[in-house]
Structure 1
């Protein structure tokens, strides 16, 4: 029987000579790893071969790195899917109104069924406890009171209010930003009540890296989804 001239006849190189090896273990695939293992077999000392435990350790190391790469790829795909889902949900908010902690409202106009432009500023008064009534106030940005109205008695909770943009003389005021406030009569005393202006969502921005959604409101402010008290 002819003897084998070299171990190459048993384990021929899988990669032609001259090809560059992978730069790091992170860039290696299964074919690169097998080529490396064959090279170790070819060059080891026959009188002192590598132990089986060393070979198994190398296999385990390669399997761990490969598994981590696959896991990272899976999480990357999941993150992209979640970000895409958030973007679609956020886009559906454009044109809708939201309620935030701000009392800065926006007087805007919209055409009604007859084609006439109607102006309005919407807000919500939070009475909290029961009240014998109260008052609703609108001020321009200089602090001048431009409108006030009586509020009905309430058993408590939230009361939606709407201002048509006209002052006490019936004159239509310019569209824009106005501050709203209210007071409630509780126990015979006037007490400040919380007022939340409604704002239209003009656009949204999604941070792909952080997964955060920012709403750009009609009054020029920006809020996160966590700052929204209610979607209207």
Structure 2
């Protein structure tokens, strides 16, 4: 009887009918591998047994593939757990306000300090090193100025601003989207500075495949979590 030096000789490259998928060690599970190893040992020539190094090589090959499969499974479980945890953290942002690079704010009803509902648009003015005050402006989406106010001197840095939605005549402006801007006194001159409108997080979406979190904001826009400048 001729000796069988490898599993590939016991099962040649031609695929048996009805077993098209079993083409290589990589396609087998542990039970298939053990059955093939036993068959190989039973059918080897007793006078010319398989080399121990060859047998160990086959075991090592299957062990490597099996280990990679287990590692992939563990990573998949870890990824799923991280995505789930990220989703829970993102869900906690619903109802909170964030700032982004946008200066488009939403005039809408919000609770005041007493818990009563009132119209307001909140923003943060970035004064930088200026501490001499400045001006705050609100325009509608046609570019028409609907409100302006002087900003008090500050210690520099950021200054929160709230517009109650009323124009210079005390009339309530229609709820909706407005553009906010500001100027600061720098070296005795008015200089445009950054203004970041506050946006309410209405809902979140989690992409399980990519692990990305998207925030759906009150003004109808959607941003990635990493685009948020500040959580308020």
Question: Which bin holds the TM-score, normalised by the shorter protein?
Answer: 0.7 to 0.9
Question: 1:111 deviation in Å?
Answer: 5.6
Counterpart residue number, 1:143: 143
Confirm or deny that 1:65 pairs with 2:99. no
Counterpart residue number, 1:96: 96
Counterpart residue number, 1:178: 178
Counterpart residue number, 1:35: 35
CA distance in 1, matches of 2:93, 2:214: 11
Higher mean displacement: 62-71 or 47-56: 47-56
Question: 1:124 deviation in Å?
Answer: 0.3
C-alpha RMSD of the superposition: 2.2
Confirm or deny that 1:209 pairs with 2:225. no
The 8 Å contact of residues 166 and 172 in structure 1, kept in 2 or not, is answered as yes
Question: 1:32 deviation in Å?
Answer: 1.8
1:48-77 per-residue CA deviation (whole Å, 9 max, x = no partner) reads 332111111011111111111111111010
SS in 1 for 2:153: coil
SS in 2 for 1:147: strand
Confirm or deny that 1:227 pairs with 2:218. no
What residue ranges of structure 1 are gaps of 5+ in the alignment?
1-18
CA distance in 1, matches of 2:91, 2:165: 29
Once the two structures are superposed, the pairs formed by residues 85-164 of structure 1 within 5 Å of their partners are 85-110=85-110, 117-164=117-164
What residue ranges of structure 2 are gaps of 5+ in the alignment?
1-17
Question: 1:47 deviation in Å?
Answer: 3.9
1:21-69 per-residue CA deviation (whole Å, 9 max, x = no partner) reads 9725344333321210121123333443321111110111111111111
CA distance in 1, matches of 2:168, 2:34: 87
1:163-198 per-residue CA deviation (whole Å, 9 max, x = no partner) reads 000000000011000000000111111100110000
SS in 2 for 1:226: helix
Rg comparison, structure with higher value: 1
Are residues 117 and 38 of structure 1, via their aligned partners in 2, closer, same or farther at CA, if it must alter by over 3 Å?
A: closer
CA distance in 1, matches of 2:156, 2:34: 75
Counterpart residue number, 1:12: none
CA distance in 2, matches of 1:188, 1:112: 36
Question: 1:162 deviation in Å?
Answer: 0.2
The 8 Å contact of residues 129 and 157 in structure 2, kept in 1 or not, is answered as yes
